[in-house]
Structure 1
């Protein structure tokens, strides 16, 4: 079938993106779903710094690639006629790492570390191998198995989690990355205990979702650090006890848990220095691969701090997305407060300028 997708032909673009137009909307060919796959109509897709990192070259990926990895969608067709988990018309949230269920990580209960899913994502292929998108006969790589900046996508069924049909698409999309990663970093990776003190570096979609998770998990007090006054004000409304600009966090009593969401090695170093002796540092940011993280080696023993890398919030999407939606319904995760704007797909390049400027939390496009 024919559909429309936002294609990135080469990495390393500089802003303003409204002028350099790294993404082009193309009429592409989309193969039908194979066994174990779904054809979905994208209902809403969120812009994330992980997308921006591919555009600007911080996160190299094979080109050309159809970007977008945070989305809600509706099932249009099934690759298996006898699929008992999904049906045409089902609403789903798409997760950016399909777990194969067979590798060591998966059988150990850590599907977020799936080796086969990560390898497929690195190649820009679906978990079942190969490409389903083609532009003028040339293969187009998939972004994290989703490629959500498009009207339609073919995804592995293990990338989809069924949800109730009454959730607004623009809200549902946020559960696929920002919420899954940020809330999961606090509740899963860090295993926050009620009453523990928390500090969060960075107040983008993931950082503010981490704040929501810390509030829901009983963290106290919660401090946040971000250069944007508007984001600091929003954090205070969402439950932070104190908000600081970078460089002002010296007034924070060393917390039990520090969450770093910025994706810069220098910020991770600050997060490590801020944590109390015996404290935990969870990092979810994705720095440029050339960046190195440096700390005094003796401090690992002398201070007894723990550094935890958190990919996808150490989440199992089929378990955690429904759990987080339940907290949202109960009013304990006001995810809708993270939504900055809803725009048509044609505005995608200009929207990345807003994201890069730090002015947006989560922008969503409707294809």
Structure 2
């Protein structure tokens, strides 16, 4: 039987595995940072109306530039992000991963490098590899924060073409201060070759943070882009809609590499319907923030070490006994609860679910801590 490595694939793809989390049939699944609340019925009905309207024109290509959707996204960011955003400074694609891919296609690529501060969202490195961009791992402190001086030195040494900052960071949940991002931006421009370096702030979990959005940093920084998603706060992981805010010139550059008509009419219609119900959906976000904070308190009371979180998930540990974190992961699974082992030594990550799901998770943790004393 032929394997992919038997084919003439690119050398850097040989022996690699695709991204993915285990999808197991267990009572409580808290491993992929999904919003646990289904869309409200009134929104489901509005989606049906908008999709029905769009279906009548499916014989034609959709709006190639998604102008109406980008206009509504700009209005949402202006209202919630503390910074005025115009339509020409917003771009949308099939999930924030496609947004990041398009940025690397435009600003990375063969002969260029991207730098991120690991542990962080593993897709940054995977998308870099997929676009032929060299990947560099920058330093983090023991508490998973970014040491500005160490980061500056790494940027000066490697002179990357693209720098990734994830805030709140996945999988640790830590948010990054605006002053830190501004310092890294300045360092990247100083070290850059030619016309500067692109700095990408990944705010996929931005709505869950106690800190304000980093969108105001866009002012006066043409090489900065802030990416977002509707998968988390909007509870629409199945929609696959991501977007970015940046200088209009960045949006123009991204359009050089985007596929024609990349956002279907159905996707645009569904996203527009969701944006009509922003206040309701953000109400669920407040509930999840309260549950996240409860998880942090209860895990610490159970004897776990917990990283401060500004996301809809919590990193907990440190498990150094026999089998380490993966043994605890397996024990929780045996109690019917699936969490995420991201490969960070000694640590696991759990998504904030419904109160009932969180109760089940916390009960399982207490039982495992008693059984295994990890």
Normalising TM by the smaller chain, what interval? 0.3 to 0.5
Give TM-score scaled by structure 1 length: 0.36
Say which structure is richer in helix.
2
Structure showing greater radius of gyration is: 2
Give the number of the structure whose residues are more often strand, by fraction. 1
* Greater relative CO, 1 or 2 (CA 8 Å, sep 6+): 2
TM-score by length of 2: 0.35
